[in-house]
């Protein structure tokens, strides 16, 4: 099935964007015209993804985010909104593992 959607003028924050599904979500949103905030802990991978999105004509911004730290979340969202504007779409893709003894 093929479809087209125009997300021009929208801003999406994608957590866990440095690999796997997060990377694919970011590329798909950017391809639909969305400005994408790439969030995660692996900054170098996010920068590589940003370069790839921008090379394809998309708009992307990198922000460091640790979803297990409330202050990191608040800081990342504030930074993203300062740089890109109000966040319209959230892809909450990050996962965390808590080991119990």
Domains and CATH numbers, the chain: 15-91 (3.40.50.720)
- If one counts every other C-beta atom within 10 angstroms of the C-beta of residue 50, the result is 21
Q: Which residues pair with 61 in a beta bridge?
A: 37
Predicted confidence band at 99 (pLDDT cuts at 50, 70, 90)?
Answer: confident
pLDDT one-digit tens code per residue, 16-42: 999 999 999 999 999 999 999 999 999
User: Judging by DSSP bridges, how do beta strands 35-40 and 11-15 pair with one another?
Assistant: parallel
CB 23 within 8 A of CB 100: no
> pTM of the predicted model, to two decimals?
0.88
10 Å Cβ neighbour count for 37? 32
Q: What is the predicted pLDDT for the residue at 15? A: 95
Strand order in the sheet with 89-91: 60-64, 35-40, 11-15, 89-91
């Amino acid at each position: 099935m093929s479809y087209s959607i125009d997300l021009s003028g929208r801003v999406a924050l994608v957590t866990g964007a440095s690999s796997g599904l997060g990377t694919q979500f970011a590329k798909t949103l950017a391809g639909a015209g969305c400005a994408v905030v790439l969030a995660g802990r692996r900054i170098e991978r996010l920068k590589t993804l940003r370069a790839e999105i921008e090379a394809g004509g998309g708009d992307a911004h990198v922000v460091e985010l640790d979803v297990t730290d409330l202050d990191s979340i608040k800081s990342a969202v504030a930074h993203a909104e300062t740089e890109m504007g109000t966040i319209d779409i959230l892809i909450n893709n990050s996962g965390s593992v808590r080991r119990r003894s």
